[in-house]
Every structure is written in C-alpha cells, then in structure tokens.
A and B are shown apart, each in its own frame.
Chain A
C-alpha cells in the first residue's frame, strides 16, 4: 500500500499561471483534505471532501478549486497563481473526519 501519494513533489510557477496538484489514496477512505503549511501558521485547511461526490470550503479556500474525481482521487487547482500561494501543500485522507488522518509527502510550490 502506497498510502497517500501526491504529485508533483516540487513546482515553480510564474504569477498568473495555473496548475493542478494531484492526490490519490489507496486506503478506501471516505474523506480527503487539502492543507497548506506556512512557517509559523501550522496546517490550514483549504478544502475537504467528506465523501465521494461532495466538497466543501475550509479555512482558506480563496484562489483554489477542488475536484473529487472518484473515491481515490482529490485534486487541487490553482487557476491563477499568486506569490501568496507559495507554500507546502499536503493532501490527507481518513476513514471519516473523526478518525486518524493520513498525510501525503507534500508538494512544495513556489510562485514567482
């Protein structure tokens, strides 16, 4: 079992460019999450999907969109990247919101 996988590992974008971060889990989990991690700010929830077919905003959703493609996959899209979106992005999954969340290895994104 690979657990939670994320691609790419690193990405550099110019302001205004778009990109999609991919996330997949092989644990048959219902819930999936996207977080961003910035120094001194902890982990902040961007969007989550409590179950297949549903998505909802978290604490910092502005500038992002998500797609729960199927039970395994949950993607995060930046339509027009801004320097403020420079961060490390983590995808996570859990059986349900009250159970342990399993995190992927992260994507380090730099927006110039």
Chain B
C-alpha cells in the first residue's frame, strides 16, 4: 500500500526540549524519505532526507532515525526553539520513477515550541 502514517497531529514542546515526530510506511519498496517544514502562509520546504542504506542522518539540531525492519522513521529536533514552530510533513517515494516516483505525504504535525 502507498500510505504514510504520521503522528502526532500536534505537539507542544518547551523551549530547549526535544521534539519527536513519527512516521510509518507500508510499502517496503520506498527508498527515499524526506521531511518538509512549512511555516504559516508559506509553501513546504525540504528540511532533511534519508535513504534506507543508513539508520540515522543528522543536520544541525535535526536528526532522522530510520528503522527499516519496523518500517518507521522519525524526526528529532534537539534544543527546540520557538522559531521551529511550524507544520512538519514526512514523505516517502519509490526510486523507480513514473507515478511510483511521486512523493506520498503524511498528514502533518503542527509543532508549537513555547518560550
């Protein structure tokens, strides 16, 4: 199946805390897993992405953890800041191109970081 399930729908974290957003997928052929960040009134923008040949990827305060056997991946935001308040979308796609190469998005998580 093509679904990507994302949780939680919303998340409130104190400044300096760790934000964790989880996604699960069903299609074992997916091989590219990006996270997009969207601020109010703006289009989504790529934040960080991972391919299944690694279990973790870190860029600054943002880390993707990938568990291939569980078909799950998660976004960790360390030392969360009020400026991180946004909606986050996970996504997945196949590498074969054609219609199967299109991104399948999760439904999004609205993160609020309180000062």
Contacts and interface: CB of A to CB of B under 8 A. Distances in A.
Interface residues of A, number: 24
A43 B95 contact: no
Interface string A9-20: 000000000000
A90 to B, nearest CB: 5
A40 B79 CA distance: 27
Contacts of A90: 43-44
A101 B95 CA distance: 15
Report which residue of A42, A90, A92, A106 has the largest number of chain B beta carbons within 10 angstroms of its beta carbon. Answer: A42
B107 A4 contact: no
B49 A97 contact: no
B43 A105 contact: yes
Contacts of B106: 42
A103 B41 CA distance: 12
A50 B97 contact: yes
A41 B107 CA distance: 5
A96 interface: yes
Nearest to A40: B107
B34 A96 contact: no
B115 interface: no
A103 B87 CA distance: 15
B102 A97 contact: yes
Interface of B: 6, 9, 32, 34, 41-46, 49, 89, 93, 95, 97-99, 101-103, 105-108
11 contacts: A42-B107, A48-B102, A90-B43, A92-B43, A96-B97, A97-B102, A98-B95, A100-B34, A100-B49, A101-B46, A102-B46
Interface of A: 4, 33, 40-45, 48, 50, 56, 58, 90, 92, 96-98, 100-106
Given A33-B102, A105-B42, A106-B41, 16 more contacts: A4-B43, A41-B107, A42-B6, A42-B107, A43-B105, A44-B105, A45-B102, A48-B102, A50-B101, A92-B43, A96-B101, A97-B101, A102-B45, A102-B46, A103-B43, A105-B43
